[in-house]
C-alpha cells in the first residue's frame, strides 16, 4: 500500500469484530497486506510442541493481525 493511513505507535479503536470498541496501540504494520498488529487485541492460541526430549509443550497466547479498515484512530 502506498498511503498507509495508520502509523506505528498510534492508538486505535476497533470498530468491528469480536473485540469491537476496545482500544490498543499499533505495534507492527504489514503494508503489503494492509494489516496491523494491535497490542492486546485479537488474541489467538498457538499450541507449541516440545522440541527436545524432556521439554514440555505449551499453549501460547499471541496477537493476530487485523485489517486496517476494521480500526479507527482513537481520539480522547
Span 7-62, pLDDT tens digits? 999 999 999 999 999 999 999 999 999 999 999 999 999 999 999 999 999 999 99
pLDDT of residue 4: 81
β pairing state of 58-63 and 23-30: unpaired
Amino acid at each position: 500500500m502506498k498511503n498507509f493511513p495508520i502509523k506505528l505507535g498510534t492508538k486505535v479503536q476497533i470498530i468491528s469484530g469480536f473485540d469491537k470498541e476496545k482500544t490498543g496501540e499499533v505495534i507492527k504494520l504489514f503494508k503489503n497486506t494492509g494489516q496491523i498488529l494491535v497490542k492486546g487485541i485479537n488474541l489467538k492460541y498457538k499450541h507449541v510442541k516440545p522440541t527436545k526430549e524432556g521439554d514440555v509443550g505449551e499453549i501460547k497466547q499471541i496477537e493476530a493481525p487485523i485489517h486496517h479498515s476494521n480500526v479507527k484512530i482513537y481520539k480522547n
